[in-house]
Structure 1
């Protein structure tokens, strides 16, 4: 009896894709971390690569150049989508929880890099413009009632204060508290601005 040979199967491309996505995410996280602590002009691709655990040529492969990488880092679109992903009556709780979980579990705040815009010269202007259009104006467009723009800015400002106290000042009582306890205390303050 003759053995039947089966054609070789193509290797599964999924693990490589996952590795590529994980590597891109690590590079972006590294660049965000550095951008929140150093002036844009002082950050090199080598700095980003070392923090991400990759080589500088890999950054060029995925992002093209430093300007393209930082254009992605200076965008708040993905962060705003996740931050605002709740119905209006639950948005305060969701936003507070999202800021805290982002810092505690991923070591990144979805909004906090805006606080460092003055360090970045002309790049800081881009960061501020992106923040206004992608975060506060997007939130304002979702709010019913009068003074939506003002209320959106006040709500986001309140979240930034929480992010600063948690991530930069590293308030020990805040950091030792359960996320749900902080959400229960802080979310009503944010929601008060979101509800007309």
Structure 2
């Protein structure tokens, strides 16, 4: 009785499936692209195609994840998720956390948690929405965590101090500042922020 042999299969027509795109990474890339463009153009002048090209995706994918342009930019103009991460530390160590979070956001994630508020004046009526979101989602939330006198004033001064660092580091790109290590900047700058948070 002879052994049955099967003919060898030929794989030259088969192709490897394309790697699946990670939904979280794709959404993050779209939001980064929209934030980048919103910092340079009025929302009315930004098209979904422009956002898609910058994010390296197709416009239909933006619609799949965000629904429409208005919904996408509503997310971009919200500071809710960013504030969750920015304020995620006990108050007695919050200054260090905020400074480090801002700097690592710019250097590692390519996104600043609060800096886009600087561009609100370019957004017309949408800028008013950004300002209102910023007040309630960042400044007011920080105020609610502070004890002692003038918590609202201290919260706004602390956030303003943080924004100054963000502008100098991410927009003005100060030469000496960008040559310093993040640890060095945190050690030097965080006490200034913390002094406003601690009564």
- TM, length-normalised to structure 1: 0.90
Say if 2:153 is the partner of 1:150.
yes
Alignment partner, residue 93 of structure 1: 96
Q: Where does structure 2 lack aligned partners over 5 or more consecutive residues? A: 1-18
Whole-Å separation in 2 of the counterparts to 1:22 and 1:84: 23
Which residue of structure 2 aligns with residue 82 of structure 1?
85
Q: 2:60 aligns with which of 57, 61, 76?
A: 57
Q: Distance in 2 between matches of 1:63 and 1:107?
A: 21
Q: Could you tell me which residue of structure 2 aligns to residue 186 of structure 1?
A: 189
Once the two structures are TM-superposed, the CA of residue 131 in structure 1 deviates from its matched residue by 0.2
CA distance in 2, matches of 1:47, 1:30: 9
Structure-to-structure mapping, 1:93-172, within 5 angstroms: 93-172=96-175
Distance in 1 (alpha carbons) for counterparts of 2:63 and 2:143:
37
Describe the SS at the equivalent of 1:82.
Answer: helix
Q: Is 1:40 matched up with 2:43?
A: yes
Give the 3-state SS of the residue equivalent to 1:161 in structure 2.
Answer: helix
Q: List structure 1 runs of 4+ shifted beyond 2 angstroms.
A: none
**Counterpart in the other structure of 1:25:** 28
Structure 2 distance, partners of 1:134, 1:41, is: 24
Count of matched residue positions in the alignment of Structure 1 and Structure 2:
181
- 1:98 Cα deviation (Å)? 0.4
Q: Which runs of 5+ in 1 are unaligned?
A: 1-14
Question: TM-score, normalising length from structure 2?
Answer: 0.89
Q: Which one has the bigger helix percentage?
A: 1
Instruction: Tell me by how many angstroms 1:39 deviates.
Output: 1.2
Tell me the CA shift for residue 19 of structure 1.
1.0
What is the Cα-based RMSD across aligned positions, in Å? 1.1
Bigger radius of gyration: 2
Alpha-carbon offset, residue 20 of structure 1:
1.4
